[in-house]
Each structure stands twice: as structure tokens, then as C-alpha cells.
Chain A
Amino acid sequence: MTEHQPLACARVRVLLESYADGELARTDPREATAVRAHLAGCADCRRQHEQTVSLPFRLRALSSPPPPDSLIAGVMRLVAPSRVAYRRAWTLIFPEAVLATFILWYLSGLEGLTSVASGIVTDLLDLAGWGSGSGRLPSIPRADVLLLLALIALTAIAAYHLSILVRLAPGGLSGRRAAGD
């Protein structure tokens, strides 16, 4: 701009950012001094410098319109499981409990469990004998068939229940509302 200035305006404009945030003074103190000298004598560049210094404050003070009321409701609708899904998840507890009670009653502790295990082994051996043609088809007690059906039903309901719980909990979370909701 003026002949006695060691730096041209174009060069100062390029350096203004690093000069304003102090980096130029750290990396090249001589050039920083030259910029300072230029600014003292150049009104245009001084204005640009003021603009540069005030810019971060103006950016931080920027305002935006308030978020619409529908924003939170929309998000919660997308992430929160529906009440129907919740009800379904909890009502499944009832058949599970009934089936589990029946199975436990039938097994009646360790003794029942061992008797069921030995019964299964005997039935399998009889079946193998029937298959090889050396024996008759074993007659399986009705209660055992009932137990088998109860176990199959419990497994199916529990698997369905699990799938609902997984759907209710995106990202591995167990999405839940506080009590009373």
C-alpha cells in the first residue's frame, strides 16, 4: 500500500488469522512485528484485523430459532417402544410362569429330574431296539408327552419374548420408563 511499509496489504491479509490467534508471534516473531507495524499505518487492514478478532465472539454469539415443540415428541416416538409392545412383553410373563410351574411340579425336584432322565434313557434304548427289530415300540406315558409339549411351548414363548425385548432395546439398552409410566 505505502512504500515505507515492509509488508503489502495482500500479505498482511493472508497472515491476519495466524496473527490474531497469536500463532504468528510464536512461529515467526519478526513477521508478527511487521504485521503490527503495517496495521498501525493501514486503516483498511486495521479494519480487517478488528473483523478477525471479533469474529470468534460473533460466531459464539450467533443465535438460532428455538427448536420446534414437536422435536422431542418426534424423537421419543421413534426411540420409545409403544405401549402395546410393552403390554405384550409383560403379558408373556403369565404363560411362561404357568408352564414353568407345571414343569417344576412335574419334575418335583432332583428326584423327579433323575426319574425323567432315566425314563428318557430307557425310552431311547427301547426305541433303538424297536428300530433294530429286536423289541416293541415303547409306550410313552401321557404325562411325559405333556411335559415335552410344555417344554416346547415354553421355549417358543421365551424365544418370542426375547425377540420383543431385543426390539424394545435398541443399541443393547433395556429401554424402560420410570415406574408409573
Chain B
Amino acid sequence: MRAAAALGVRSVSDVPATHSSAGVDLVRQATGGDLDAFEELIRRLQSRVYGFAYQHLRDVHEAHDLAQEIFVKLYRNLGRYDPERPFEPWFWKLAANATINYRRKRVPLPAESRDDAVDETAGRAHDPALLQALAQLDPAYRLPILLHYYADLSLEQVGQSLKLTVPAVKSRLHRARAQLRNSLAEAEQVQETS
């Protein structure tokens, strides 16, 4: 974590910024239409949202676009949020939907420019093997992994976000972890032989 800070990167395991009572008040104010509160809310969420988008798309420019889209969608849907219910699961469900829709409509970038965008930050990553393995994962498996481990959603919440049953989420997580494990083992073997 300290190493990550020194590298100028932010960990995905930061404490959710909207769980405190101040965070709850902020959400309430933003829901009431206070733009300053909304700005502060996205300031607190931006690291995790941008990180989530980056881990999913592996491209800094696209991560920026997706994070922006998630926040605009949040603003437009704040009126539908029920303040009696926890904010984070509701928000991440919205973020997951925005991510799915974003992937559907996005035009793939030329391979060269994508590689440049990834390489820009890959050199600074503290777990490059895992990042590489995650990048190779099918999006259908990567999204549940990110929502569960990155956004810290429960299996039920991941299921709600992706319109999947809990057993289906478990199955995807199992397969995803198995694929990640295989990729990591292969990477280790390559490293040992070289």
C-alpha cells in the first residue's frame, strides 16, 4: 500500500467514502439537488470508480470516459435513489449497468494506441502479473470479479447488479479465479524459465 502510494497509484481497497455518517449526509444533500454536495460525493468516489473503469478497460482514456459516464448517470438517477437504503450497492449496480452499456456501444481502438495507453501505467503497477491476467479475462468474468473484490459488493449485490442468481455469480467467480490462477501459474513458469 505504501509502495503504491509512493508510485502515485491508489489502491482499490480504500475504505468506501460514503459509509461514514458524513458520507450519508452528503448523499442525502446530493439527492436533494445540492450540486456542491454532488461534486464532493464524486470527489470521494472518483478513485474507486476510475480504478474500476481502468481495471475493466485497461485504457486510461476509456477509463476516463467510462468514469465520467457513470457519474453523469449517477446525477441523472439520484432522484430515484431511496435514502433509506444503503447507497453503495445502489451506486455500484448503476455503475455496472453503465459499464455493460459502455462496452456494448464502444468502438474498439486500434491495437497500437490501446497498447500505448496500457503501457503508460503498467510499468508502475505493483502486481503486473495479476493485472495482465485480469486483462486477459473475458469481460463476463472480469466484471463480477471487480464488483466483488474491488467494489466490495456481496454476492447478492453482484447478482442484482448483473441480473444473475447468486449460484451463477459464484460459478462465474470460481471460473474467473481459476482462469486467473492458471494465467498466473503460466506467467510464473515463463519467469522461471527465462
Contact = CB atoms under 8 A, between A and B. Distances in A.
Given A75-B42, A79-B71, 10 more contacts: A14-B178, A16-B181, A58-B130, A61-B13, A64-B121, A65-B54, A71-B64, A75-B68, A76-B35, A178-B34
Given A56-B149, A74-B68, A61 B33 contact: no
15 contacts: A18-B174, A48-B181, A48-B185, A59-B134, A63-B4, A63-B7, A64-B47, A65-B9, A65-B54, A65-B121, A66-B8, A67-B64, A71-B67, A71-B71, A75-B42
Interface residues of B, number: 60
A170 B177 contact: no
Contacts of B101: none
Contacts of A68: 50, 60, 64
B159 to A, nearest CB: 16
B72 A177 contact: no
Contact of A59 (B9, B46, B145, B185): B145
Contacts, number: 151
Given A171-B77, A181-B36, A65 B60 contact: yes
B104 interface: no
For the residues of B in contact with A, the DSSP-based class is: helix
Interface string B55-78: 100001000100110011001111
A78 B79 CA distance: 17
A80 interface: yes
Interface in A1-49: 13-14, 16-18, 23, 47-48
The 10 closest A-B pairs by CB, nearest first: A64-B51, A67-B50, A172-B79, A59-B149, A63-B9, A173-B33, A171-B79, A17-B174, A63-B4, A79-B75
Interface in A142-181: 169-178, 181
Given A17-B178, A63-B125, A71-B68, A176 B34 contact: yes
A151 B8 CA distance: 63
A13 to B, nearest CB: 8
Nearest to A68: B64
A60 interface: yes
A68 B8 CA distance: 12
A175 B10 CA distance: 31
Contacts of A84: none
For the residues of A in contact with B, the DSSP-based class is: helix
Nearest to A78: B72
B4 to A, nearest CB: 4
A60 B131 CA distance: 12
Given A17-B177, A170-B76, A61 B12 contact: yes
B127 interface: yes
A101 interface: no
